Amino acid sequence: MADDSVNRRSVSAEDGNRYGICARLRLSKIHRMPWIRRRARQAQPPEDRLPDLEFLALVNASLEEFAPGVTRGTELKGNSLSSPRGWAVVMAPPGHGGGHHYDLVALPDASIQPDVPCFMDCVVAMSGDPRKAADAWVQTAGACMLELLDPRGHFADHADPDHERGVPGWHSIISGAVGFGLDAAENRRLQTALLNANVLHRIAGTFTADLESPFFNGVKVFYGGRPGAMEVEIRVNGERHETASAAMATLNLPEPTVFTAVRYYALLLPVPTDPGEPPHPPRRRASTPR
């Protein structure tokens, strides 16, 4: 199964510096993420699902390939991948899907206790290869985490609320689109179509009222399937958003000629009401050498 990624550098790194630095320094304001605790752990994971640490080892390898040096000193323990720079990725209990389905939680600064600011995402090894699922997470949600920590436009795009690709009322960090399908050309065609559809900007009114986090909200955009049986989905903070998904279905995205799946991820950050709000003392800063 072929996989490709497409990025759209349509906004400046200066926006990332201006909003991302402020956002990074405001981590200490966060107190609760109650939506992260909604899922109960299943008694036994599916037999064809990799153990947590084995999948996280694939995530670690993919992160290093995507951003060389970023995994220096990382540790695999329990159900988490932890960096001495402060960030972590944790496997969550399976919430839906089959054995090739993996739920992950990104913690940009795990030192904030007891309620750590975090965002959720899920990936599926559609070809049966879990490394492809790890790559999909790293190139989308993982890219947004890295860009949040080092906001220079190296890993993801930034869009102000009034930008033509932005979400009104929010500052957006948006990954490139990743395609996983049977044909590389179809991957690229649907990736381009999904980016050109400008989904989050066009359907923003259907989901922004439901953004719960006072710091960052994770939004996944998914489009995929086989000819005649394509599915679209918007997940907000790990949960399927029915109204937004239905709105996305009206955007007339093209169908592929063979099985194809495309996804991207966005972090939506509140815009400070006071532009002159002083930053809080910085916590550990992650280094993401390229």
Q: pLDDT tens-digit profile of 19-68?
A: 443 444 344 333 334 434 444 444 455 556 789 999 999 999 999 999 99
What percentage of the chain carries pLDDT values higher than 70?
A: 76
Residue 167 confidence (pLDDT) above 70: yes
pLDDT for res 49 = 79
Residue 147 confidence (pLDDT) above 70: yes
pLDDT for res 274 = 61
Query: What mean pLDDT, rounded, does the chain reach?
Result: 82
pLDDT for res 96 = 61
pLDDT for res 241 = 98
Average pLDDT over residues 232-252: 96
pLDDT for res 125 = 84
DSSP line for the chain = -EEEEE----S-HHHHHHHHHHHHHTGGG----GGGG-PPPPSS--TTSPPHHHHHHHHHHHHHHHSTTTTTT-EEETTEEE-TTS-EEEEPPP-SS-TTEEEEEEES-TTS-SS---EEEEEE-TTS-HHHHHHHHIIIIIHHHHHHHS-SSSSSEEE-TTSTTSBTTEEEEEPPEEEEES-HHHHHHHHHHHHHTTHHHHTGGGTGGG---SS-EEEEEEEEEETTEEEEEEEETTEE-HHHHHHHHTT-PPPPSS-EEEEEEEEEEEPPSSTTPPPPPP-PPPP---
Residue 91 confidence (pLDDT) above 60: yes
pTM over 0.95: no
Residue predicted with more confidence, 82 or 214: 82
pLDDT tens for residues 202-228? 999 999 999 988 889 999 999 999 999
pLDDT for res 114 = 77
Torsion of CA 186, 190, 196, 202, to 10 degrees: 170
pLDDT for res 13 = 45
pLDDT band at 113 (very low <50, low <70, confident <90, very high): confident
Choose among 137, 135, 126: nearest CA to 103.
137
